[in-house]
Amino acid sequence: MNRVFRALIANDLRLFFSDKRALVATIFVPILLASFFAMIFGGGGDAKKATIAVLVADADQSNVSRKIIEGLRTEGSFTLTPTSEEAARAAVGRGKASVALVIPKDFGKQSASAMFNPIAPRPKLTFLYDPAHNADLQMARGLMTQQVMQVVSQEAFSNPEVSGIGDALKLAEADTSRDPQEKSALTELLRSVQKWQNRPPKAAESRDFSPGMGMSNPCEMESEAVVAKNSNEPKDASGGKAGATHVFIGMGVQGLLFFAIDFAIGMVRDRRLGLWKRLRAAPISRLMLLGSRWISSTLIGLVVLSAVLAFGAMLYGIRVSGSVVGFLLLAVASSLMVAAFGMLIAALGRTEGQCRAFAVPAVLTMSFLGGAWIPTFMMPAWVQPISQFLPTRWAVDGFDLVTWRGLGLVDMLPSLGVVLIFAFVFAGFALARFRWED
């Protein structure tokens, strides 16, 4: 092998291993990051699945509705909170709850009667749901069907006052259009049920029934997507537009973070080449110099974010259905925050390699845990509180509020405030730790 060629290789290896901080970050940070994600997806830590928050507006307050609610609670997949229908609509529309169940008045009586009487009115159970949480809706519907059939069947067979067996029997006996053999079998069945209901009370109290006993579906279930009144999200949405909007918002925020890495590496390169040292000789203060870089990178960040969301608007019809002012303010705040994050990376890293080694895992973690990749509600229960300490979570949630949720400026002010706090904290640390030369 050529001597010069070997020397070049040896020099590259020497430079790599001489930067101890970059070496440690390059080797051990991916290990830590991989271990963290494996713990999340592989069931490490507290593997308990996050429960679904369900609001329950029970206008019936009957024995049947109470048993159904208790059955859902003991099943373990839901956290049930009693409320009114009006409050439930407001909470789901603002994204505070994923699903709400509305049980109408006289549900217990009507559902038990409808099991045996085909002409009896069937009550409607209404699910109010957030379009971004369609999976939660499907789970709630499935488990609710199971609970309804179990509780209502038991009530229908045990309680003659609500079962409507007498009316169903009269209707079957008067039906001349039915096949005689089928009519005889049906009337015999109904008489047997009626006889069972009239057995001694002690026997009735000592027996229970398995799920599924009954003649027909005792109620109807309907789903209603709830969004703000001025949102462009369709009322029959299945999460399509909401999902597309969330994805573009998340990738836009992540794009800003990756821009911050390039911005930081550029600042470190300028310092290594002596640019900052020469500028120090000029009548330019540290605050003025870093402030100008902060504003310029903020403007570039706005261009990046605007380009991503503009493409989503053209291709998927993404719209700002809520406060336009709130959207613009949050876009500026997010760009300020990410630019300050880039300055902080440059202040902490001594070389380009160190900046890249530390910043890339940090950006990936902030993007994932902040909900830029997948909504935070899909993460394990022990992970979700962590995201509250990340600026990306507040930025993504704030954009969701003023886009497909269609909410106003007041609703997104908390998100705006937190993002701005992170922006100035990052900038303050960057100003305090910034070095003019290596």
Q: Is the dihedral of CA 390, 392, 395, 396 positive or negative?
A: negative
Residue 204 confidence (pLDDT) = 42
Q: pLDDT at residue 50 above 70?
A: no
Same domain, 157 and 67: yes
Residue 182 has pLDDT above 90, yes or no: no
Computed over every residue of the chain, the mean pLDDT equals 78
Give a yes or no: residue 44 inside a domain. no
Split at pLDDT 50, 70, 90, the class of 30 is: low
d(CA 198, CA 220): 29
Q: What's the CA gap between 377 and 243, in Å, rounded?
A: 13
- Residues 263, 188 share a domain: no
Does 16 fall in a domain? no
In a domain, residue 9? The reply is: no
The reply to whether 278 and 387 lie within a common domain is yes
DSSP one-letter string for 235-304: TT--SHHHHHHHHHHHHHHHHHHHHHHHHHHHHHHHHHTTHHHHHHHSS--HHHHHHHHHHHHHHHHHHH
Q: What is the pLDDT of residue 225?
A: 83
Task: Tell me which residue range forms the domain holding 145.
Answer: 52-225
- pLDDT for 199 beyond 70: no
The yes-or-no verdict on residue 100 having pLDDT over 50 is yes
Does one domain contain both 89 and 175? yes
* Gap between the Cα atoms of 330 and 208, Å rounded: 58
Would residue 8 count as lying in a domain?
no
pLDDT confidence of residue 240: 55
Query: Phi, psi (5° rounding) for residue 300?
Result: -65, -40
Distance CA 433, CA 19 (A): 20
Residue type, 326: G
| Number of structural domains found in the chain | 2
Same domain, 303 and 403: yes
Angle, vertex CA 25, rays to CA 360 and CA 15, nearest 5:
110
Please tell me what DSSP assigns to residue 62: -
Does residue 211 sit within a domain?
A: yes
Mean pLDDT, range 107-118, rounded to an integer = 72
Q: Ranked by mean pLDDT, which of 188-202, 337-351, 378-392, 416-430 comes out on top?
A: 416-430
**How far is the C-alpha of 150 from the C-alpha of 68, rounded, in Å?**
9
pLDDT tens profile 297-325: 999 999 989 998 998 888 888 889 899 99
Judge if 414 and 277 occupy the same domain: yes
**Is residue 381's pLDDT more than 80?**
no
pLDDT at 417: 97
Do 93 and 176 reside in the same domain of the chain? yes
- Is residue 331 situated within a structural domain? yes
Residue 26 or residue 99, greater confidence: 99
- Do 59 and 146 belong together in one domain? yes
Q: Supply the pLDDT for residue 424.
A: 95
Instruction: Tell me phi and psi for residue 110, to 5 degrees.
Output: -70, -40
Residues 113 and 84 in one domain: yes
Q: Is residue 24 part of a domain?
A: no
Asked if residue 162 has pLDDT above 50, the reply is: no
Decide which of 175, 194, 225 is a domain's last residue. Answer: 225
Task: Round to whole Å and give the CA distance between 392 and 253.
Answer: 7
d(C-alpha 261, C-alpha 339), whole Å:
9
- Residue 25 tokens, joined: 């970050």
Within a domain: residue 31? no
Same domain, 195 and 334: no
Where among 199, 225, 251 does a domain terminate? 225
> Do residue 185 and residue 244 come from a single domain?
no
Which of 193, 225, 257 terminates a domain? The answer is: 225
Looking up residue 123, the CATH number of its domain turns out to be 3.40.1710
Do residues 386 and 341 both lie within one domain? yes
